[in-house]
Amino acid sequence: MRNIQLTKRQEKIIEIVKENEPITSEAIAKQLKLTRATLRPDLSILTMSGILDARPKVGYFYSGKSDINVFRDKIQSIKVEDIKSLPTIIDEETSVYDAIVTLFLDDVGSIFVTSNDCLTGIISRKDMLKSAIGNIDINKVPVAVIMTRMPNVIYLEEKESILEAAIKIIEHEVDSLPIVEKHKDDLGEEQLKVIGKISKTNITKLFVDLGIED
């Protein structure tokens, strides 16, 4: 991957940090006679690219790294367990109507379906829309009839990286993925328990947080 092309202001920031490290963003802004808000995008770029290292309540240090691969390595180091959110789960005997109500109440794009506390499928907004305009009684038909069933459900485990999660979401064109914990049942067969989820929103929020890190 190619190196980042720095602006004159970013190069000046690097010089200031080299000479005064550790130095706060407020002190950098004062030397450049600019506001912290004006410098925030520059500091974000320099930090994400690995040129500067930011430490909370301490300030900025010069790391000497300039390859954008540093940012990729940082993303790979963040695991899905670090930013997972609560999943919306229903039993596979739940009616399609009740599933639609749950979907809108929880404001989610997909719902994970279980039986005996184990993942058996997933149902999306598109699945529910098809059923609602189709010729079925959504008050009586259970979600098990229209859901995507295992083993066709893509999932994550807690120790997978956010980068791997993002790749799966893009490749499979879904808005969220369940995070599962594997265990064996009494017959020795592998079962999956849903313990969280990763969504496009989780990943977008992470990138925003990294971008404005100060």
**What is the secondary structure of 5-23 as a DSSP string?**
PPPHHHHHHHHHHHHH-SB
Q: What is the pLDDT of residue 127?
A: 92
- The second-level CATH assignment, the architecture, of 8-72 is Orthogonal Bundle (1.10)
Altogether, the residues listed in the chain come to a count of 214
Q: What does the alpha-carbon distance between residue 6 and residue 211 come to, in Å, rounded to a whole number?
A: 16
Q: Are 192 and 116 in contact (CB under 8 A)?
A: no
Q: Which residues pair with 183 in a beta bridge?
A: 191
pTM: 0.67
| Res 1: pLDDT | 37
The whole-angstrom separation of Cα 31 and Cα 39 is 12
CB 138 within 8 A of CB 97: yes
φ, ψ of residue 192 to 5 degrees: the values are -120, 125
Residue-by-residue pLDDT tens, the chain, 214 positions: 334 567 889 989 999 999 999 999 999 999 999 998 889 888 988 887 778 888 888 999 998 765 555 566 677 789 999 999 999 999 999 999 999 999 999 999 999 999 999 999 999 999 999 888 888 899 999 999 999 999 999 999 999 999 899 889 988 989 999 999 999 988 889 999 999 999 999 998 888 887 665 4
Structural domain boundaries in the chain: 8-72, 80-199
Q: Domain 80-199 adopts which CATH fold? A: CBS-domain (3.10.580)
Q: Provide the pairing of β-strand 110-115 with 89-91.
A: parallel
6-25 burial string, b = 16+ CB within 10 Å, else e?
beeebeebbebbeeeeebbb
